[in-house]
Amino acid sequence: MAETATGVGRFKANYAVERKIEPFYKGGKAQLDQTGQHLFCVCGTRVNILEVASGTVLRSLEQEDQESITAFDLSPDDEVLVTASRALLLAQWAWQEGSVTRLWKAIHTAPVATMAFDPTSTLLATGGCDGAVRVWDIVRHYGTHHFRGSPGVVHLVAFHPDPTRLLLFSSATDAAIRVWSLQDRSCLAVLTAHYSAVTSVAFSTDGHTMLSSGRDKICIIWDLQSCQAARTVPVFESVEAAVLLPEEPVSQLGVKSPGLYFLTAGDQGTLRVWEAASGQCVYTQARPPGPGRELTHCTLARTAGLVLTTTADHNLLLYEARSLRLQKQFAGYSEEVLDVRFLGPEDSHVVVASNSPCLKVFELQTSACQILHGHTDIVLALDVFRKGWLFASCAKDQSVRIWRMNKAGQVICVAQGSGHTHSVGTVCCSRLKESFLVTGSQDCTVKLWPLPKALLSKNTAPDNGPILLQARTTQRCHDKDINSVAIAPNDKLLATGSQDRTAKLWALPQCQLLGVFSGHRRGLWCVQFSPMDQVLATASADGTIKLWALQDFSCLKTFEGHDASVLKVAFVSRGTQLLSSGSDGLVKLWTIKNNECVRTLDAHEDKVWGLHCSRLDDRALTGASDSRVILWKDVTEAEQAEEQARQEEQVVRQQELDNLLHEKRYLRALGLAISLDRPHTVLTVIQAIRRDPEACEKLEATMLRLRRDQKEALLRFCVTWNTNSRHCHEAQAVLGVLLRREAPEELLTYEGVRAALEALLPYTERHFQRLSRTLQAATFLDFLWHNMKLPVLATAPTPWETHKGALP
């Protein structure tokens, strides 16, 4: 396979970014539009708009001030989005076009903490950290109300669903709910029954009843006609959001009789349905294991029939409202990515281990995400078996798990094993067959785990939970943490790399020591066998990569180039090249034969912990502490073909240029030379024009027929020519034409003209000084010539004259 992809003996020269999986939600509010097709969420200085069907970010909206977004809201008619930034500016967006239609000052003296539209989408209420509540008319663009009296931060505002009643509800840090009348511009009532922060309010369809939830572990039903608490429901968890369900029977959720039912989301991490009349919990969702499951937000899109929840570890979950069946999962923020692997026989998926007990599986084609629960502490490493369906993970919970992906892309845990006494930091799967895996731990041991035959049966579904793995071999290998294990392509050798600065070679399956590789000055982060030769590669915290011979354990080569620890290394191009990643955020491509670093790829901003290459050797995957997962594509062949086509085009154009000069078609020649963006070629054309007997007229006529962008390019080239005394005459000739025939106002509108003039002036002055000196010298020489008075020399008589005078 690799032979067809890369060719025998063909080296890679470059990779390009094909795809990025980046954070799009870092906590805070998330909101669906009424159709359930778009999801809006905050990520730092941006509001990201996701397409729910594909999971891709359609648009990122960022205010001009580039400050963090503190609040946002989408109007009920889905037309207008308003955002508030820490710079106290409000922006109104036509979000489908991604343009700001209006920007105005919030007038609050502290950042806006919350905002809400009224049912008609014409009024917007904002609650600030300054304790003020303001109301804005979005259509007529002015502030209508300013309500004072709330102590501390106003973190909740909501309009009554009946627009004719003109009521606004707000809550601040005193845990009271204030009812404001827009008509009377006054506070009608203060509802006090909560003992902790009120987190949400919801209204019944008739508008007579309100539900409020709080972190005091209660929900309260309010009669809005008397402004009294009708019922207090203890829910036994800190509630972040409560949603009133549609008043219709839903047997799956325990809603069997008419009346008010509501849904709560809180720190227990489950959605629960409560009957308001009796205060009884009628439905509880099953809770997945592991921390980080606390729910921080919940909202209902009634028209779409969807419930959106967000978790403490920044995952967004979409449920069908009638059955609470999970429909979509989105991983908003992965924090520190610790390992990445391709999945599937055609590398159609990737699995990501981040600073979390959950694993995230992404389908590359559709961006669909699946979040896997099972580990109870941070997952540290991954590896995938040869066929691509089975993969293994190990974690700080001292366990190892095996997962299987089916053809539909669904992943389940099929086996688990425990036995290490410390965090399991590295795992490696057998290479020839799906027969065993090896783990390395901070307890300085490695364990070999055979795969049960039942696990390899494709029809096996773990009805009774994951199969338990039993370790066949346990071996203490090093004196310090084991950071990396690697299995040879023939499954007979094991290499281990440790913090004790050594790598060791072991015979499998009994783990007998064969030799030690010593030479690194710091701990080892990665060991890897060559797929073709009897060579081991090691990556170390001393910033080097070393190649070792398996026969005599000698060091064959050392690669230096990373400025910090080298965290991962992988063989590519059939074992003739290396890819390495480091804590300097760089990925480097090396050619082994000449120790040369062919390319440095710089797309990460922090430590690159994860590195994996595809089966066809045409793509690479990296994951880093900057929360980014980047898919790289080998573009060597494409770049070579592009370069060859470019060279062929240059030859054709050069020939065409020579023909035009020969035919004295100077305008076409000059235009072609400028389009090639080659100053020296343009200079050649100008020189050819100036060699013509009617040079001045030809140059002027040719230049005046050029387009403006071509004249701008000529001016740019003149700057370069003018720095050289051999080419300054051409530069000055071009400048002379421009200055004589172009109006100064026109010249000043040229792009980059000011910088060009600044660069031209000093060299032009120097050329004129040189010409002045030459002229002075020539004048002096001429003066000397004319003033030379040579004495008249007496001419000696010739022999003939002498002889003639002697005759009689």
Angle between helices 679-690 and 695-704 (to 10 degrees): 140
User: What is the side-by-side strand order in the sheet with 15-21?
Assistant: 15-21, 629-634, 619-624, 608-613
Joined together, the tokens standing for residue 735 give 């400048």
Same domain, 480 and 549: yes
Mean pLDDT computed over 609-622: 94
745 lies in a domain?
Answer: yes
Report how far apart, in Å, the C-alpha atoms of 222 and of each of 194, 206, 247, 569, 605 are. Answer: 12, 13, 17, 63, 51
314 lies in a domain?
Answer: no
Q: Which of 238-252, 579-593, 610-624 has the lowest mean pLDDT?
A: 238-252
Its domain, for residue 735, covers: 664-768
3-state secondary structure of 3: helix
Q: Is the pLDDT of residue 807 over 60?
A: no
Mean pLDDT computed over 725-729: 80
Confidence grade of residue 8 (pLDDT, cut at 50, 70, 90): very low
Same domain, 541 and 688: no
570 lies in a domain?
Answer: yes
Same domain, 390 and 492: yes
- Domain boundary pick from 622, 638, 654: 638
Q: Which of 88-97, 406-415, 777-786 has the lowest mean pLDDT?
A: 777-786
Q: Is the pLDDT of residue 642 over 90?
A: no
795 lies in a domain?
Answer: no
3-state secondary structure of 22: coil
Q: Provide the CATH number for the domain around residue 499.
A: 2.130.10.10
Joined together, the tokens standing for residue 114 give 């919350």
Confidence grade of residue 714 (pLDDT, cut at 50, 70, 90): confident
Q: Is 483 exposed, middle or buried (0-12, 13-18, 19+ CB in 10 A)?
A: buried
Same domain, 411 and 537: yes
Mean pLDDT computed over 576-596: 94
Same domain, 577 and 674: no
How many domains, in total, are found in the chain?
2
Same domain, 615 and 680: no
Joined together, the tokens standing for residue 676 give 């090639």
| Residues above pLDDT 90, as percent of the chain | 63
473-516 pLDDT per residue, tens: 999 999 999 999 999 999 999 999 999 999 999 999 889 999 99
Return the amino acid letter for 36: G
The beta strand positions in 561-704, using DSSP E, are 566-572, 577-582, 586-591, 596-602, 608-613, 619-624, 629-634
Dihedral sign, Cα of residue 422, residue 424, residue 426, residue 431? positive
83 lies in a domain?
Answer: no
Mean pLDDT computed over 392-411: 94
Farthest CA pair distance, the chain: 169
Same domain, 683 and 744: yes
Alpha carbons 40 and 38: distance in angstroms, whole number = 7
Joined together, the tokens standing for residue 32 give 């669906």
338-368 pLDDT per residue, tens: 999 999 999 999 999 998 999 999 998 888 8
Alpha carbons 473 and 428: distance in angstroms, whole number = 15
187 lies in a domain?
Answer: no
144 lies in a domain?
Answer: no
Return the amino acid letter for 752: G
690-713 pLDDT per residue, tens: 777 765 677 777 777 788 888 888
Same domain, 586 and 445: yes
Same domain, 553 and 422: yes
| Residue closest to 31 by CA, chosen among 82, 98, 100 | 82
Q: Is the pLDDT of residue 311 over 80?
A: yes
556 lies in a domain?
Answer: yes
- Tell me, letter by letter, the H, E, C secondary structure of 72-131: EEECCCCCCEEEEECCCEEEEEECCCCEEEEEEECCCCCCEEEEEECCCCCEEEEEECCC
Same domain, 577 and 725: no
Same domain, 620 and 710: no
Mean pLDDT computed over 622-638: 92
Same domain, 614 and 694: no
